[in-house]
Amino acid sequence: MSRWKRMAGVKRARVEEAQSTPPDRIIREIPLIERYSRHNESEDVRFRTYLKVRLDQTSEETDAIVRKTTDEIWSQIDCTKCAHCCKTMQVAVDATDVKRLAARLGITPQKFSRRYTKVDEYRERWFAKSPCEFLGEDNCCTIYEDRPKACRDFPYLHSDHFVGRTMMMISNTSRCPIVFNVWQALKVRLGFRRSR
């Protein structure tokens, strides 16, 4: 066996070992996450390049590892103790969301749009207020079963083609403890050499 093949085999074995190792300590505190995210900025950009250019596996293989890592980390984070996304992020709403939510509140879609949404200069519709006015005092969503699609899909870690959404992931590392911890765990699991 050639030296290069042996080295590739050793690297693959290390990556496989890392993928089966439980993630390190989970960090949940938003101020700490914001600080680490600022500190990690250049490393995160290097990791993005690594994912897009150097990682030797298919998009489907990467998505499978991202989903497995997400499930492991999400099971250790209680969103009702956080709700940071609902308190700080803008929520996009489409016509289907408006219709569903209007029906839930027993008002017309037009009335719902006027009362709860706004339209930006690109003609995109958003919830008018942040923090979200549907967030309850107990940090639970008061319209959970009918929440907008954007809320259902957030933080987009189970969607296909993770590698195509890495800019958004970098931006969300400082906002969402799940994204932050998954992103850090992926650096280890996907064989990225971290800064010291």
Residues interacting with ligand SF4, by CB under 6 A?
77, 79, 82-86, 91, 132, 134-135, 141, 143, 147-148, 151, 154-155, 176-178
- Indicate the residue among 64 and 143 with the shorter CB distance to ligand SF4: 143
Helix (H) / strand (E) element for 126: namely strand 125-127
Q: State the nearest-atom distance from the C-beta of 21 to ligand SF4, in Å.
A: 22
In order of 20, 48, 60, 98, 116, the CA distances from 51 in angstroms are: 19, 5, 13, 37, 39
What is the sign, positive or negative, of the torsion defined by CA atoms of 108, 110, 112, 114?
negative
Alpha helix segments (H runs only) across 20-108: 30-39, 41-49, 59-74, 84-88, 95-105
Per the structure block, which two tokens stand in for 41? 């900025």
**Of the two residues 17 and 153, which places its CB atom closer to ligand SF4 in the complex?**
153
Q: Which is nearer to ligand SF4, 181 or 191 (CB)?
A: 181
Of residues 18 and 77, the one with the C-beta less far from ligand SF4: 77
State the minimum distance, in angstroms, from the CB of residue 134 to ligand SF4. 4
For the bound state, the minimum distance from the C-beta of residue 94 to ligand SF4, rounded and expressed in Å, comes to 13
CB of 80 vs ligand SF4, minimal distance in Å: 8
84 burial class (0-12, 13-18, 19+ CB within 10 angstroms)?
middle
Report in angstroms the alpha-carbon separations of 44 from 48, 70, 160.
Answer: 6, 18, 21
Nearest residue to 170 (alpha-carbon basis) of 178, 160, 180, 162: 180
Nearer to ligand SF4, 155 or 191 (CB): 155
> Shortest Cβ distance from residue 13 to ligand SF4 (Å)?
33
Nearer of residues 55 and 83 to ligand SF4, judged by Cβ = 83
CB of 128 to ligand SF4, least distance (A): 12
The residue among 121, 130, 127, 79 whose CA lies nearest residue 101 is 127
